[in-house]
Structure 1
Amino acid sequence: MESKVKQEIFKDERTVQIEHKIGNELAFLTIFLLLLSILVKLVFWRLDWQACVPEIIIIFTLEIYAGVRSWQLGLDIRRSDTTGSSRRFRSRLATGVFLAASFLLVQILNGDSKEKPSFSQNPVLQFIFILVLIVAFSSILDQLVNYFYRKKQTKLEKELEEN
């Protein structure tokens, strides 16, 4: 009789990288599907934006989790300095759009704006606003993680210099 012995599976760097790549693709696909769900709810089903709150909360939670884990593991989310300036520009642009959209939203919700009827009746505008809000949140979170990463790196460098 042949005995069934579990064979130990060895993982090399390539296998680990492929697993990480699949995980990243799954996370991207999840966010994409949640955004698609928001689009369908707003544009095709003509639901109010409050119907999209669960998807928005899930996306924000995924972003927060990714940021916290990156910081805990000491991963540099801005690895290459060559794309640093363009990434910073996009981040600042997203933050500016976020602030402008937030100001507009406060005016609309308070009833101090003539845009209130057009915003509440235009699902595409609502979707774009939600998308900009998510991008801005992600950008701000990336900046926070990068700040704490740099702070942690300088602390580690000082400890290494002292020893």
Structure 2
Amino acid sequence: MSNVDLSQYNNTLTRKNQIARLIWTMVWFIFAKPLPRSLGNSWKLFLLRLFGAKLHKTSVVYSSVKIYMPWNLEMHEYSCLAPYVDCYNVDKIIVGANSTVSQKTYLCTASHDITKTSIPLITAPIMIKDQSWVGASVFIGMGVTIGQGAVVGATASVFKNIEPWTIVGGNPAKLIKKRVLND
């Protein structure tokens, strides 16, 4: 056996937090996941609110969405988390009005500080501003803000803030062009 001091590797999330997440996971799996996508949105929003999510009544959350900590989720009018979105929301995730996060997107609010030997957990919120669209299978890293009206192309990886009314894509995401509305 080595003489490594394991105290520096303690989980920073409390036991109460871990139990709440366990209960939440079971509740979602039993009472929301089996529902067909066209049925039960009000019920799913109720379950999320029961666990502290701040949701507008017109927001949409698909049954296959994975939400780590519902108490760190906020969704505004006509916002949507599409099928198989994974919200690793150790910190806040805010989805603005009229915004869509498309299928299989991963929203990641946490990482680890690799400059320290204990590699502690670090977190920062993700904000998706009004009228934005995050395409399919996008990765959005911690601390990122997607500006109002921005579009993130499918399979992009976003590690820095995205300016409002721009279209970005690639890995890492880069500006493609300004978004111009024609209506």
Q: Per the shorter chain, which TM-score range?
A: under 0.3
Q: Using CA pairs under 8 Å that are at least 6 residues apart, name the structure with larger relative contact order, 1 or 2.
A: 1
- Please report the TM-score for the alignment, with normalisation by the length of structure 1: 0.28
More helix by share: 1
Q: Which structure would you say has the larger Rg?
A: 1
More strand by share: 2
